[in-house]
Structure 1
Amino acid sequence: MGSTLSPVLSHHWDAEKSWTLATYEADGGYQGLRKALEMDPADIVTAVKDSGLRGRGGAGFPTGLKWSFLPAPDGGPRYLVVNADESEPGTCKDTPLMMASPQMLIEGVAITSRAIGCDHAFIYVRGEILHVYRRLLRAVEEAYEKGYLGKNILGSGYDLDVTVHAGAGAYICGEETALLDSLEGRRGQPRLKPPFPAVAGLYARPTVVNNVESIASVPAIITGGVDWFRSMGTEKSAGFGLFSLSGHVQRPGQYEAPLGITLRELLEMAGGVREGHELKFWTPGGSSTPLFTAEHLDVPLDYESVGAAGSMLGTRALQIFDDTTCVVRAITRWAEFYAHESCGKCTPCREGTYWLKQVLGRIEHGQGTMEDLDTLLDVCDNILGRSFCALGDGATSTITSGIALFREEFEAHVTGGGCPLDPAASALFEYTPRRSDVRALSGTAAGTVGA
């Protein structure tokens, strides 16, 4: 498959000033919008639905089907919101796309807005990436100047305004309803569903929320056609996508490939695991997906195959860890992240992620017990499926899979009094729990998670 790659999203990333409108137009940019403006909006929705494009933000829900859930027009506004709040550890595909080719996203926004009958779209950008925020602002200005946004776009009679909004740095705002609350000026916390955003989203109006890469893929579908798009990928996971390789690889970066490619093929393109070491474990879809090992090198990276193998394709954030990595330490760092980023709205996530962090801290530094391993699995079981949104579920994924795959390494931290790979690191830290930690780690408190 590696010999048949045809970059689409990243086609002109290496061009001089690739982010400018002039460069994008020279590469065929905005031809899709011109074509879409001549199409019936319903036909655009049908084309995207027939293409098999699935959401590139993690869940993999069919994009065209999501658009079709909007109720019939009632004369009121409806909105498109682009989720650019990319902040999960290891996930780094939307940021380079917006940096190198912001006009592709804006063209996708215009086509999608036309399809769903939206006249005001929003791009919600992660607040920490100020350089991306500024680049998008300038790209939107250029699009207005050339008539691709604003009133009477290209003489079609269609009007569209685009607002670029910077978030305040909360990971939870990657959840679509928390993002909508944040966009409305409220604290970012997940909403109870139903109603779903398609019925009552931004400002209680019908709203479509899509990932950056999902929207940026739309112009190519309109210009290339449904059959062209479906010629790549697999039957149920059609098309192409950006695979982010990071960690212990020779050439980390973004690799655009058809869905269904394997990590073995991607590693060949990336020069393999760093010299002198072997692959130990990896994440197929970011830090909220169950771990894979070298045994999974040939699992096709599509939604169905990865799911059948026991994990999730997620955001295709392939974090590669070699044999020098302590799996307990890596999982503990992820657990600390999720405990910090929990919004606190629901008890299982608010309390459970905190306890997971504390138990893992004890184990990592050689002060845990064998019973702690069972406690970890018990707390994970009480969080999974009981939290308000997917953050709690994601926080448990690497823990449960890590213990299943590397239980001996967890036990070695207990019996050996610290990390077997780096004993000195354990000796430098003495874990002293606070009084609240002791209470939280007691069996009585842990039993309340499932209450």
Structure 2
Amino acid sequence: MTTESPEKLLTPVLSEFWDQPESWTLETYRRHHGYEGLRKALEMPPDDVIAYVKDAGLRGRGGAGFPAGMKWQFIPQGDDKPHYLVVNADESEPGTCKDIPLLFANPHSLIEGMVIACHAIRSNHAFIYLRGEVVPVLRRLHLAVREAYEAGYLGKDALGPGKNLELTVHAGAGAYICGEETALLDSLEGRRGQPRLRPPFPAVAGLYACPTVVNNVETIASVPTLIREGQDWFRGMGSEKSPGFTLYSLSGHVARPGQYEAPLGVTLRQLLDMSGGMRPGHQLKFWTPGGSSTPMLTDEHLDVPLDYEGVGEAGSMLGTKALQCFDETTCVVRAVTRWTEFYAHESCGKCTPCREGTYWLVQLLRDIEAGRGVPGDLDKLDSIADTINGKSFCALGDGAAAPIFSSLKYFREEYEQHVAPRSPGDATARGCPFDPAATTAWADGPHAKTAHQEVKA
């Protein structure tokens, strides 16, 4: 990709008319080819729609990047059971802020995509599970659903003569764990949101023990334009294995944070060029490619293609494409501590590795950040994270371990500065090197005696 004019890399599709007056209304959406993709899709047999999306290469935009068409294809046919579509709008990952703006500015793109998906998987009832704290988005989404019912896109004969379609908007109670698809389904059924053991997978026994597709907001909202413009147009963007466009959420110590819609495969360097770079007088230290649950990267990875394969080869995950950028003034230990506190708080407690492991990670990190740690704590951190990683019911455990592993890999010396004095008997040198005042306050406080004893030992 060329770097001569970075702005030309932008591909405003979902965000094309976010800045227009009343962008969320049906009238505005129709002026921008709204529901044209639906008309084209309803003329195709359901299996052909699935094959079309599969061949286009649309991958899930919610984290793992699983092919959307393949997920739809898993739904068994001729089983005489209801089929359900559930859209995961419980956006709670730290640093992720793409689905909520999309729903706020252009909710009809999601509704049109849901009708197409329901036609494809032969579903007559769809659900949107929305993060309950975003009340303005909830109100705007209800308005859009009402407009769609009145226009005949939902309700009686929406999918053809005798084929009705109901859409239910459900507001969650604000649990991060409900972003995990099986915990979301339990919550939607009225139970406490906790991950289920798999198999069976949702495609076989999901909502109400019936075949269910669970997709992210951006994934489904991308379907109408894909159908309308065609496979070749969609594959003309991105890379071979990660085609299409996507929303990158750029935040942190950057000059102009925000949503940047570009082809998959763009680099962070190019996105920073578009956003004015890091804040004046500072430079990039570390960043996350897909929210805090993905392993952090450093300034050495500025030119890594931001697609699923490129980021994976760099040792991380593209995830939700939440690019949190931190400059040299940020203490890595402090940042990782705050993230780990979040995961410990949001752990549902169902499985022991996550419930107990995240608790002990927080205790260790707080001690290390405050200067109360000892060198052996770093190996203990790594060991506890390894005990959690891959051994919990869901990906929350893996997400809690990822910042630990990656920060120790790239910034172990910074951890060591927190636990080792710079000179014998100098307890004030322990703690966070980025906050001397706080370190001195700690050294003069109730823990000072213990610190001096540790130094002498």
Structure 1 length normalisation: TM-score? 0.94
Q: Deviations over 1:252-296 (max 9, x none)?
A: 000000000000000001110000000000000100011100000
CA deviation after TM superposition for structure 1 residue 380, in Å:
0.7
- The within-5 A match list for 1:433-448 is none
Task: Specify whether residues 429 and 119 from structure 1 end up closer, same or farther in structure 2 by C-alpha distance, changes over 3 A only.
Answer: farther
* Match for residue 422 of structure 1 among 428, 432, 435: 435
Give the letter for the 1:421 counterpart: F
Asked whether the 8 Å contact 1:147–1:154 carries over to 2, the reply is no
CA deviation after TM superposition for structure 1 residue 417, in Å:
1.5
Which secondary structure state, in structure 2, belongs to the residue aligned with residue 344 of structure 1? coil
* Match for residue 257 of structure 2 among 229, 252, 255: 252
Task: Specify whether residues 161 and 426 from structure 1 end up closer, same or farther in structure 2 by C-alpha distance, changes over 3 A only.
Answer: farther
Task: Specify whether residues 137 and 64 from structure 1 end up closer, same or farther in structure 2 by C-alpha distance, changes over 3 A only.
Answer: same
Which secondary structure state, in structure 2, belongs to the residue aligned with residue 246 of structure 1? strand
CA deviation after TM superposition for structure 1 residue 245, in Å:
0.3
Distance (whole Å) between structure 1 residues aligned to residue 291 and residue 176 of structure 2: 14
Give the letter for the 1:196 counterpart: F
- The within-5 A match list for 1:264-303 is 264-303=269-308
Give the letter for the 1:422 counterpart: D
Task: Specify whether residues 432 and 66 from structure 1 end up closer, same or farther in structure 2 by C-alpha distance, changes over 3 A only.
Answer: farther
Distance (whole Å) between structure 1 residues aligned to residue 441 and residue 165 of structure 2: 58
- Larger displacement relative to structure 2 (131-140 or 270-279): 131-140
* Match for residue 369 of structure 1 among 365, 374, 379: 374
Which secondary structure state, in structure 1, belongs to the residue aligned with residue 399 of structure 2? helix
Q: Residue in 1 aligned with 2:53?
A: 48
CA deviation after TM superposition for structure 1 residue 425, in Å:
2.8
Which secondary structure state, in structure 2, belongs to the residue aligned with residue 86 of structure 1? coil
Q: Residue in 1 aligned with 2:167?
A: 162
Distance (whole Å) between structure 1 residues aligned to residue 94 and residue 171 of structure 2: 19
CA deviation after TM superposition for structure 1 residue 428, in Å:
4.6
* Match for residue 349 of structure 1 among 349, 354, 360: 354
Task: Specify whether residues 432 and 71 from structure 1 end up closer, same or farther in structure 2 by C-alpha distance, changes over 3 A only.
Answer: farther
Q: Deviations over 1:168-220 (max 9, x none)?
A: 11000000000000000000000000000000000000000000000000001
Distance (whole Å) between structure 1 residues aligned to residue 156 and residue 400 of structure 2: 45
- The within-5 A match list for 1:400-411 is 400-411=405-416
Does 1:84 pair with 2:84? no
Asked whether the 8 Å contact 1:52–1:237 carries over to 2, the reply is yes
CA deviation after TM superposition for structure 1 residue 14, in Å:
1.2
Which secondary structure state, in structure 2, belongs to the residue aligned with residue 358 of structure 1? helix
Distance (whole Å) between structure 1 residues aligned to residue 33 and residue 288 of structure 2: 35
**Percent sequence identity over matched residues?**
70
* Match for residue 194 of structure 1 among 192, 199, 202: 199
Which secondary structure state, in structure 2, belongs to the residue aligned with residue 287 of structure 1? coil
- The within-5 A match list for 1:33-432 is 33-153=38-158, 156-415=161-420, 416-428=429-441
Distance (whole Å) between structure 2 residues aligned to residue 218 and residue 279 of structure 1: 35
Give the letter for the 2:139 counterpart: R
Q: Residue in 2 aligned with 1:446?
A: none
CA deviation after TM superposition for structure 1 residue 421, in Å:
1.1
CA deviation after TM superposition for structure 1 residue 408, in Å:
0.9
Which secondary structure state, in structure 1, belongs to the residue aligned with residue 311 of structure 2? helix
Task: Specify whether residues 253 and 429 from structure 1 end up closer, same or farther in structure 2 by C-alpha distance, changes over 3 A only.
Answer: farther
Give the letter for the 2:344 counterpart: A
- Larger displacement relative to structure 2 (253-262 or 424-433): 424-433
Distance (whole Å) between structure 2 residues aligned to residue 14 and residue 380 of structure 1: 43
Distance (whole Å) between structure 2 residues aligned to residue 374 and residue 408 of structure 1: 13
CA deviation after TM superposition for structure 1 residue 5, in Å:
2.7
Structure 1: gaps of 5 or more residues? 434-451
Aligned-CA RMSD value: 1.4
CA deviation after TM superposition for structure 1 residue 35, in Å:
1.1
Give the letter for the 1:96 counterpart: P
Task: Specify whether residues 192 and 233 from structure 1 end up closer, same or farther in structure 2 by C-alpha distance, changes over 3 A only.
Answer: same
Which secondary structure state, in structure 1, belongs to the residue aligned with residue 203 of structure 2? coil
Which secondary structure state, in structure 1, belongs to the residue aligned with residue 250 of structure 2? strand
- The within-5 A match list for 1:1-12 is 1=1, 2=6, 3-12=8-17
Q: Deviations over 1:109-155 (max 9, x none)?
A: 11001110000000000111111111111110011011111001286
Structure 2 length normalisation: TM-score? 0.93
Asked whether the 8 Å contact 2:119–2:159 carries over to 1, the reply is no
Structure 2: gaps of 5 or more residues? 421-428, 448-457
Asked whether the 8 Å contact 2:10–2:260 carries over to 1, the reply is no
Task: Specify whether residues 398 and 149 from structure 1 end up closer, same or farther in structure 2 by C-alpha distance, changes over 3 A only.
Answer: same
Does 1:14 pair with 2:19? yes
Distance (whole Å) between structure 2 residues aligned to residue 198 and residue 108 of structure 1: 19
CA deviation after TM superposition for structure 1 residue 74, in Å:
2.2
Distance (whole Å) between structure 1 residues aligned to residue 113 and residue 69 of structure 2: 13
Distance (whole Å) between structure 1 residues aligned to residue 58 and residue 129 of structure 2: 22
Moved over 6 A (4+): 430-433
Distance (whole Å) between structure 2 residues aligned to residue 317 and residue 432 of structure 1: 40
Asked whether the 8 Å contact 1:37–1:156 carries over to 2, the reply is no
Distance (whole Å) between structure 2 residues aligned to residue 16 and residue 428 of structure 1: 52
Task: Specify whether residues 141 and 378 from structure 1 end up closer, same or farther in structure 2 by C-alpha distance, changes over 3 A only.
Answer: same
Distance (whole Å) between structure 1 residues aligned to residue 227 and residue 118 of structure 2: 14
Distance (whole Å) between structure 2 residues aligned to residue 4 and residue 375 of structure 1: 45
Q: Deviations over 1:79-122 (max 9, x none)?
A: 00000000010011100000000000000011001110000000
Give the letter for the 1:424 counterpart: A
CA radius of gyration, larger in = 2
Task: Specify whether residues 428 and 211 from structure 1 end up closer, same or farther in structure 2 by C-alpha distance, changes over 3 A only.
Answer: farther
